[in-house]
Amino acid sequence: MHFHRLAKMAFLALTATRVATAFSAATLRSVGASSSSAASSSRRSLTNAAAVAFLDNRNRGASASTTAGRFFSQSAAAASTCTSSITALRQSTVVESELEKNLGLSHPAFDIISTDIVTEFGAYCTLYRHKQSGAELLSVSTDDDNKCFGITFRTPPTDSTGVPHILEHSVLCGSRKYKTKDPFVQLLQGSLQTFLNAFTYPDRTCYVVASQNTKDFYNLINVYADAVYHPRATSDPMVHAQEGWHLELEKIEEPLTYKGVVYNEMKGVYSSPDSLLQRDAQQSIFPDNTYGVDSGGSPVEIPNLSFEQFAEFHQKFYHPGNSRIFFAGDDDVANRLEIMDEYLKDFGPSPESKPASTIQWQKKTFDAPKKIRNPYPAGNDQPETHMIMMNWLVNDRPLTPVEEITVTILDHLLMGTSSSILYKTLMESGLGESITGGGLMSELMQGTFSAGLKGVKPEDADKVEEVIMSTLQKVVEEGFTEDAIAASMNTIEFDMREFNTGSFPKGLSLMLGSMREWIYDRSPTDALRFEEPLAELKKSISESGSKVFQDMVKEFLLENTHRSTLEMFPSKTLEEEQLQEEKDRLAKIKESMSEEELQRIIDTTTELKKLQAAEDAPEARATIPSLELSDLKREVTEYPIAVSENEADTGVTVVRHELGSTSGIAYANLAVDVSGVATEDIPLLPLFTRMMLETGAGEYDSVALSRRIGTHTGGVSASALIAGVEVEGGTEGAVTSGEHFVTKLLITGKATSDKTDELFSIFDLILRDANLDAKSKIIEILKQAKSQKESTVQGSGHATSNARIRSRYNVVGYINEKMTGLSSLDVVKDLLDQAENDFPALLARLENIRNTILEKSTCRDGMILDLTGDAAVFEKIQPSVENFLSKLPGDTNAEKLQDFYSEPHPWVKEIKEEMAANAPIADEGFIVPTQVSYVGKGGRLYDVDESVSGSTAVVSRFLGTGYMWDNIRVIGGAYGGFCQFNPRDGVFSFLSYRDPNLAGSIDVYDGAADALLASAADMENDPDALTTAIIGAIADMDGALSPDQKGSAQFKRWLTRESPEQRQKYRDEVLNTTPADFKAFAERLKALKDPSSAVVSSKAAFEDAAKAGKEFTLKNVM
């Protein structure tokens, strides 16, 4: 996985945790506006969702929640409240004593460089240096059972051939000890890993694993350590050909083509206007160092990388002396050192390794700002709008810890929320549709700052820069208000102290945070500290207010001439020109070759495909360490739940999850029924939920509301929740008709226990009194949504295809697609037209939604307050809960709503009529400017009322990590191939991501059933393969959860009426899966009912598919 600038990472431990919160907010699969960002794709697309959730830092435009306060005098109080109330990392004395024993533990092969206790995270750290090889190892002991291991190499490229990225993919394709073609896949198939991935930065490459099972953890470490130090890839050119690039030719009369996983991945990246903007921006301000080239690789440059250069790069940069090895968790420190010594002792010293990889500083050399104009690919129907982004090189020297935290707060003040001054001013300027530029980027040696707009008219291009510069000038002259500073300070401090990483391993968050300094030969533990610099910043603010921020804006931005303004303009011929340039280049190469040379390419193509299709030998598979079924937990993990219906005669149901510790924080969800909303207004719910947080409420304008939220809470979000339920009287675990579901407006938030009065007050305020009469803000939101949805179709077409497929078979799928999928783009365009030309009509619809959900006679019956906390939290917040319940709108003796568990939802009849007209079973193609395809095909695997066994989880996962991986990714060259099965609706789908093929991938899907039948037969004689598949399925079920995620998971179980007995039955069926289950699944797949396809691709690709007999009903999206 290559970390592009677009997918901004919050690697600093003090800000990283806010991202993982996004995943917990998504636990209930809610849709609409929320505080969370969308997830970007990982290198290995089959990697777990926790990883994916972290990868996209924050989509500022989508931020409907978050942060703020009133007066700075309150900020100090809020900050001190955080300090005293959030006890996240305060272990017991016994635990501290045990952890302290690990400090400075000696081993004969290692020297101890330093020991340190990072009290902020309860981390007991020892930094070692391996005596023989020179490798550095940071051992972090915590009381976290989700153990984490990583190896990071400093890998600065000198060109854009993508060599570090290709190497990152390739080292995991077999090694000295582990002989299969792709040990990574074997681990993915049969490990209990909670994180398994690798990523390429502009200047380093990281290999990371995590697991809660100690035996599994050691297995993962061994495979990864052997892979990076002794990869097969450096001696086998076929790996470089498969993962990087190769010339492909099957018949001498056919044209040459380029193939390769990274090559196709980067073609997808370079098809995205957003990615091109971010790439060009970074390169514009780093003309003199490694950040000025693309470590991921340019599709034009990748074919210039020879195998010899590839192997030499590994030899140069993958010596242990250039590696930083990281451990975190509760595993034994002595074992850590012993395991790593087994690998490191093979190497002698390499005094040139570190100096050779040193990153050179980019000095601020621009005498005047640069202006750059570049094209981006646009569709024929796309408006002639530009993208404008200003970019600064922030620092050309190391920042002090105080400067680091100050610039983090400053970033939040400028761009952190929709009410932040630069963000707000840009959006309200009316010059563009949505924000671009992620603000501060600080994960590399030198920070950058970017801000701008997309959807800008050509004549307004210069005005964007004027708005940005005048806003910064205003900040320098007037500073920030006390309440703005209070809100940003509390928001960042809450995140740091809570340290809530969701399912993302905390150890990995610590690793990424430490690496920000360690990789540049500075202290890894200093990078994790925030108490002292935070206290110093607070002192500075108390003495001189916002001057520290004003001075920083002046030095780093306003008076900094080392900046660029990048203007991207649309080209409706660029995609065609790029395709033609590639064809011409390949034709020229072919013309220059003799028949013998062409035959060698044909032979190599045949050999590579033969190797890719070949099964690993049994003796090779036997080298991969594995678990046994006896290592698995047989019981489902249940989380506490207590349900109080009609609590205190308020008519409201309260659901509580009392956990061992939530560190003084209360997590709350208020669910309000929306089943009375008219079906034609369902698509307005995402807009409605965003307005609850972005347009102000009651006496608070949008800025004041945001600051109140930020000052007193850890964040508030609003979204729409639609969840299918078990039907009363039906067979539990059987496919439902899709007619029974619950629909809620979900307000989610968190606060320290002494701030829950404020939290609940905000809940009540935005529920009752959100300002709906905000025409300009609504237009702004809709323009932003339109831009973001267009980017999603182009960059995440697999999700678009999947949603479209599922919308054809199920009412819930249809509603979700209309609210968040491709159909929602048309909805947003229609709403934008109505907002601009008939706002009173739109306002009436929004007001009707609120009046309906707050209907006095019924609303309390549909209200649920879901709370997660520990015993002390619950005791402290009870008065606040009682007060909140008593003041909620509606009658306490509310009329009963219908029983959604026994009666069809009131939306069903009209939605089914819509589906008949708008969602026929058909093969649809959606045309966008792109060089790759996103190919989806699906259908009904199970009919309504058929029982679905837990074995389906094993088989569908096996299919995705085996057949799909081998044929779509390895042989086909796509970045990802996977499949999904939903046991509630019985729908199965195949999907590909950044795929160079279209018709060929559909053929692969059509061959899956026969391949699965063959695998079922093989498993009769290969019990180990079956065991591996079962273990992988259990891993998906047993991920690590944060306290709020545990509460959310149990709440969803209760809301959907899924019983503990059914969960255990399903798990037992997973554990008891047999080859016969594989055969039964394959036979169903062979007879897949009502199959249909949805593909996002280019016009040229659809034309080629038609020649291959694959016809689609086409629609131009952009």
- For the chain, the distance separating the N- and C-terminal CA atoms, rounded to the nearest angstrom, is 27
The DSSP 8-state label assigned to residue 770 in this structure reads B
- Give the integer Cα–Cα distance in Å for 1012 and 1018: 10
Q: Where are the alpha helices (DSSP H) in 592-736?
A: 595-613, 618-621, 685-694, 702-712
| CA gap 217, 327 in Å, rounded | 11
Tokens found for residue 887: 């003041």
HSE of 322, CA atoms in CB hemisphere, 13 A: 27
**Which segments within 680-828 are labelled E, that is strand?**
716-724, 741-752
**Structure tokens of 250?**
């099957």
Q: Which of 243, 433, 482, 567 is catalytic?
A: 243
Instruction: Name residue 354's beta-bridge partners.
Output: none
Q: CA-to-CA distance for 743 and 811, rounded, in angstroms?
A: 12
Element (H, E) at 836: helix 822-837
Q: Taking Cα atoms as reference points, which of 851, 172, 13 lies closest to residue 507?
A: 13
| Nearest CA among 738, 737, 708, 742 for reference residue 722 | 742
Tokens 């990087």, located at residue: 244
- Which DSSP category does 646 fall into? T
The answer to whether residue 168 is catalytic is: yes
> How crowded is the C-beta side of 862, counted as CA atoms within 13 Å?
24
Closest CA relative to residue 712, chosen from 720, 704, 721? 704
Q: Which residue has the tokens 């995440």?
A: 796
How many helices (H) and strands (E) are present in the chain, helices listed first?
41, 26
Helix axis angle for 811-820 and 797-806, nearest 10°, is: 140
- φ, ψ at 126 (rounded to 5°): -130, 125
Residues shown for the chain: 1118
DSSP letters spanning 342-367: HHHTT----TTHHHHHPPPP-----S
Rounded to whole angstroms, the Cα distance separating 51 from 141 reads 22
Beta-bridged to residue 668, according to DSSP, are 749, 867
Report the 3 state secondary structure along 866-878: EEEEEHHHHHHHH
CB 1008 within 8 A of CB 937: no
List, in sequence order, every residue forming a beta bridge with 667; answer none if it has no partner. Answer: 750, 868
- Phi, psi torsion values for 593, nearest 5 degrees: -95, 150
Q: List the one residue out of 9, 347, 432 whose CA is nearest residue 199.
A: 9
Contact 7, 200 (CB under 8 A): no
Inter-CA distances, 1081 with 79, 259, 1075, 1090, Å? 56, 33, 10, 17
Catalytic residue among 120, 136, 168, 248: 168
As a whole number of angstroms, the distance between CA 260 and CA 305 comes to 12
* Contacts (Cβ under 8 Å, ≥6 apart) of 1069: 949, 950, 951
Q: What whole-number distance in Å separates Cα of residue 132 and Cα of residue 348?
A: 6
The yes-or-no answer on residue 342 being catalytic is no
Three-state DSSP class for residue 223: helix
Residue type for position 260: G
Return the active site residues: 168, 243
